[in-house]
Structure 1
Amino acid sequence: MPFPRLPRLLDAALDRLVVPGYSKLGYLARSAGWEALPSDALAGRTVAVTGASSGLGAATATGLAGCGADVELVVRDRGRGEAARDTVLAAHPDARVTVARCDLADLADVRRYALDARDRLLALHGLVHNAGVLPGERVETADGHELCLATHVLAPFLLTRELLPLLRAGSPPDRPGDPARVVFVSSGGMYTASLRTDDPEYTEGRYSGGAAYARTKRMQVVLAELLADDLASAGVAVHSMHPGWADTPGVADSLPGFHRLTGPLLRTAEQGADTAVWLAAAAEPGRCSGVFWHDRAPRPTHWLPGEESAAQRAALWAFCVDATSSAPTH
C-alpha cells in the first residue's frame, strides 16, 4: 500500500533547493507515495530507447521490459548493445529485446536506421531520446554540426519525424487516451541555460562542454513542446523530463569532480530512469502533451524570468528543419 504523496509545497521546496530534490533523498521521499507500474502495462507495445548500452538508457530499457514492452536498444556500438541486452534479459528472461546500431551524431545514419525500423516494425508505441554526450572540447560531426547539438537536438528531431509513420500506427484512433509517447531525457542543468538560437552551433566565445550540454538540454525541452504541438494531429504525445543526479558511467567519466563530491547522494540509474519509464507506461502522461517532468510530476521549465520568445521558439524549429532537411542518405 503506497504512502500518501508529498504535499505540493514540500515537493516544490525539494525541487527549488536542488540538492535534496535532485539527489536520491528526493527520490526516496517522493517514491514512497507512488504505485508500482503493472507488469503488463506495456504488453504488446514496442518502445525504442537511444543510448541504451549503459547508464540511464540501459536502466530505462530494463524498466520498460519489466512493464512487458518489446524493447529496441538503439546503440552506437553493437557489442555494448548486446551486453546491455543480456543485462535486460537477466532481469526479465521472457522479454523481447532487439539491438539496432545507429550513430546519432551522423544524420545519414539516423535516416538509415529509421528506414530499417520502418521496414521491420509494424508500430512504435514509445521513443525515448536518451543518448547524450558531454565533450571536453568543441567537436564537429561529419555533417559540420557541434557534437552536443547533433546528438541532443538534431538527431532526436530527425528521428522523431522519420519514425512518425510508426508512431502514428502506435496511436490508433480507437485508443485516444493512450497515444504513442516520445520522451526527451533532458537535464536539470538546462535551468542554467537560455535558448541560444543566435548561436546554436556554439561558435562564439570560449567553448565549454558543460555549457554546450546545458544549452542543448534547454533546446530539448523547448523542442519537446514544439513537437507536442506539431504531432497533436497524429495523436502522438511528447514529453521531456530530467532524471535528477544519477550515478552513471557518463557522469563518472565526464564530471569526475562532481561525481566525487556528490557520490553518496547520487541516485541509482534505475531511480534516475524511473520517470522516463513511467512516462512511457502510465495513463496520466497519455492524457497530456508537451510537459516537463521530474519524479513523476510536472515541473516548471524556468525558475527565473527569461522565458524564450515566440520568435526564438520559431527560430529553433526553423533551424532544426533546415539542418536536417539537408542530411544525406547512405
Structure 2
Amino acid sequence: MARSFDAARWLDFVLDRTIAPGYSRVGFVARHRCWPDDDPRPGAMHGSTALVTGANSGIGEAIAAALVGLGATVLLGVRDPERGERARREIQAADPNTEVSVARCDVADLGSVTECAATLAETLPRLDVLVHNAGVLPDERVETADGHELTLATHVLGPLLLTELVAPLMGAAADPRVIFVASGGMYTQPLAVDDPEFRDGQYRGATAYARTKRMQVALTGPLAEHYAPQGISVHSMHPGWADTPGIAAALPRFRRLTRPLLRTPAQGADTAVWLAATAQTPPSGRFWHDRRTRPEHYLRRTHYTDENVRRLYQYCCRAAGLQVS
C-alpha cells in the first residue's frame, strides 16, 4: 500500500513538473484513478446554494451542472441572460427536478456587480459557494465603463467587489467557500504591481489574461486572511487545458494543435467542484490543480514579496470601490 501511494505521489509530481502531460486529459485520467470514488459523496451539496459566474458555457457551465448533480441550488451568474437561459435549459434537461436559475451579473461592470449582489441579498437567506469563473481574453486593450482594463476588471476587480458584497450571505452559511478559477498560464507572468492596468508596453490579450490570473492566485492568501473571521474559506485553482468555446475563439491555433489532448469541460471543472463539495473543508488560501495544492511559481523571475502583494491588494480594493483594510 505504501509503495502504491508513493508511486502515485511520484507520478503526480512528474506530471505537474512536465506541464503538458499534467495539464492534458492524460494527467487528469492518471490522477483520477487515485481519487476516492465517493468524494464528493452523492448529494453532498443538498440544501446548499452556489453562484457560478461565467456559467453560460465551458468550464463554468460544467461546474454548475456538477454542483446541481450533487444537489445544490445553482445560480448562473452571466452577462447575457439569453445565453444564461440556454445553459439553464441544458443543465435542467438532465434532471427537470433540479433548481437552476439565471442571475444577471457582468463582473467587469462594477455597477452590475452591485445590482446583482443587492438582488441576491433580497432573495437568498445564505450563499454557500461562490465560484469566480467568468473570464475574457481580448484582442486589444479595452477599458470598461469604470475606466479599468478589461481583464483586470473581469478577473480581479469584479470578483473582489462581488465577494465583499455577498460576504454577509456567505457568513450565514455553515461552511462557505469562495473559489477562483485561475489558469496555469499565470506561471509565465510575474505580479504586475507597478502596472496592473497594463498601460505600459505592447498589449497582448494572452499576456493580460495570464497577468490577471497571476493576480487571482497572489490575492488568494490575503483574501483568505480577510474572510477568516467570518468563517469563509478562499481557494484558487487551475483547470489544466480544457476544450471550451473560449479556447476555440481566443486560441484557435493552440486548440488545433492540442485538441486530442485537451480535457473535457467536466474534467477541467473537477477541482473547482471538489473544492466546493468535499466534506472536509480544504485549507484556505491555497492554489490547487487536480485536487492537490501546487507551487505558485516555477520560474525565479515570477517571485514577489509580501509587500508586492499588499500593494496590489490595496490598489485593487480601491479600484473596486472597497475600503482598504
Indicate the TM-score class for this superposition, using the shorter chain for normalisation: over 0.9
Partner residue of 1:138? 141
Q: Distance in 2 between matches of 1:265 and 1:226?
A: 35
Following superposition, the deviation at residue 38 of structure 1 comes to 2.0
Q: Distance in 1 between matches of 2:229 and 2:282?
A: 14
Q: Which residue of 2 aligns with 1:175?
A: none
Give the corresponding residue for 1:174: none
Change (3 A) 1:28 1:68: same
- Aligned CA distance change for structure 1 residues 155 and 44 (closer, same or farther; 3 Å): same
Corresponding residue of 1:176: none
Task: Map 1:253-292; keep pairs closer than 5 Å.
Answer: 253-284=249-280, 286-292=281-287
Q: The residue matched to 1:10 in structure 2 has which SS?
A: helix
**Dislocated runs of 4+, deviation >6 Å:** none
**Residue among 148, 151, 159 paired with 2:151:** 148
Counterpart residue number, 1:25:
26
- Structure 2 CA distance for partners of 1:249 and 1:287, relative to 1, 3 Å: closer
Equivalent residue pairs, number: 316
Cα offset, 1:92, TM superposition: 2.7
The secondary structure found in structure 2 opposite 1:200 is coil
The corresponding residue for 2:233 is: 237
TM-score (norm 1): 0.93
- What is the rounded CA distance, in whole Å, between the counterparts of 1:203 and 1:300 in structure 2? 29
Correspondent of 2:294 among 281, 287, 299: 299
Give the equivalent residue in structure 2 for 1:38.
41
3-state SS in 1 of match to 2:320: helix
Q: Percent identity?
A: 55
Residue equivalent to 2:178: 182
Question: Equivalents in 1 of 2:118, 2:214: separation in Å?
Answer: 29
Q: Which residue of 2 aligns with 1:164?
A: 167
Over residues 50-84 of structure 1, what are the superposed CA-to-partner deviations in whole Å (9 max), with x where a residue is unaligned?
00000000000000001100000000111111110
The 5 Å alignment of 1:195-206 reads 195-206=191-202
| Equivalent residue letter for 1:189 | G
Please tell me whether residue 81 in structure 1 is matched to residue 84 in structure 2: yes
**2:188–2:299 Cα contact (<8 Å) kept:** no
Is the CA contact 1:140–1:146 (under 8 Å) kept in the aligned structure 2? yes
Contact 1:292-1:300 at 8 Å conserved across structures = yes
Task: Indicate if the aligned counterparts of 2:73 and 2:100 stay in contact, CA closer than 8 A.
Answer: yes
CA displacement at 1:287 relative to structure 2:
4.4
Secondary structure of 2:62's counterpart equals helix
Name the amino acid aligned to 1:135.
P
TM-score by length of 2: 0.95
Aligned residue number for residue 109 of structure 2: 106
1:65–1:92 Cα contact (<8 Å) kept: no
What is the rounded CA distance, in whole Å, between the counterparts of 1:122 and 1:61 in structure 2? 20
Q: Cα deviation per residue 1:247-269 (whole Å; 9 max; x = unaligned)?
A: 00000000001000000000000
Quote how far apart the aligned CAs of 1:226 are.
1.1
Indicate how the Cα distance of structure 1 residues 252 and 278 shifts in structure 2: closer, same or farther if over 3 A, else same. Answer: same
Contact 2:161 2:322 in 1 (8 A): no
Specify the SS of the correspondent of 1:198: coil
Q: Pick from 220, 223, 240: which aligns with 1:224?
A: 220
Distance 2:292 2:260 in 1: 24
Alpha-carbon distance in 1 for matches of 2:25, 2:145:
39
- Partner residue of 2:246 out of 246, 250, 253: 250
Structure 1: runs of 5+ lacking an equivalent: 172-178
Separation in structure 2 between the aligned mates of residue 199 and residue 235 of structure 1, nearest angstrom = 33
Q: C-alpha separation between the residues in 2 aligned to 1:138 and 1:317?
A: 22
The answer to whether the 8 Å contact 2:49/2:127 transfers is yes
Separation of aligned partners in 1, 2:259 and 2:206:
19
Q: Could you say what the CA RMSD is over the residues aligned between the two structures, in angstroms?
A: 1.3
> Deviation of residue 315 (structure 1)?
0.6
Query: Residue 8 of structure 1 corresponds to which residue in structure 2?
Result: 9
